Amino acid sequence: RQMCIRDSNPSVNIEQLLEEYEVKKKVEKSIKALEGQIEDASKMVLSDDLKCMKRVLRRLGFISKDEIVQLKGKVACEISASDEIIVTEIMFAGILNEMEPNEIAALLSVLVYDERTSSEASKLIVIKNERINKYLQKVIDIGKKIVKVYQESKINIDEQEYLDNIKPTLVEVTYAWCNGSRFQDICKMTECYEGTIIRVFRSCLLYTSDAADDLLCVDLGGRRIIKKK
């Protein structure tokens, strides 16, 4: 091989190439060693996070002390459109049992709307419906309880950042749509794009339906919650 190199390019310094090749091999070996250390460290972090998350699920009743999935956990597994923990807590708190379907859809819109919204902007949104406003406050209280459990379980989480995910931007819009308002009219009630509005409506329908097939839903307190397919 060296003869071929000399023949093709006499000016090539074979010794220098070999030295550079040895350096390359050492660097590659160091990279592999570092990657192994990173992987081991990641496993340790994931292991710690998993232990903390299991603690959260036990305290909230999603799993038992023996890590057996409870009813709450089974319901949470069927939720995909939003934060499954807070949605499950809302359902088991019995809040939805007190509400009409149009109110439920409007309330759940605060969890499925995920456009960027500052906490200051959310505070400026006025919800005219007093009943929905009351239930929204209950959802916020549940969110605070969940944050407290996270923090007690040694998971680093900022309360305000978590609560900022509860966004009332489309509550009035969703309520108007459920009450039969025309789509072109409700689009004038918000600055959100039409596609965003439709996506939020569809996500709300994944949760609530009085006409859901019994084989595709979970019955909780008289309300049927559609399972994801």
Q: How many separate helices (H) and strands (E) can be counted in the chain?
A: 11, 2
Give the pLDDT of residue 203: 78
Mean pLDDT of the 76-96 span: 88
Mean pLDDT of the 132-150 span: 95
Q: Max alpha carbon distance in the chain (Å)?
A: 89
Give the pLDDT of residue 12: 61
Name the more confident of 170 and 1: 170
How much of the chain exceeds pLDDT 70, in percent? 77
Pairing of strands 217-220, 223-226: antiparallel
Give the pLDDT of residue 36: 79
Tokens of 166: 């509860």
- Report yes or no: 186 and 173 within 8 Å, Cβ to Cβ: yes
Distance CA 37, CA 207 (A): 44
- Report yes or no: 114 and 200 within 8 Å, Cβ to Cβ: no
36-55 b/e (C-beta count within 10 Å ≥ 16 → b): eeeeeeeeeeeeeeeebeeb
Give the pLDDT of residue 90: 93
Give the tens place of pLDDT for each residue, 194-219: 888 888 888 776 665 533 444 444 44
Give the tens place of pLDDT for each residue, 19-70: 888 888 888 888 988 887 777 666 655 677 888 888 999 999 999 999 899 9
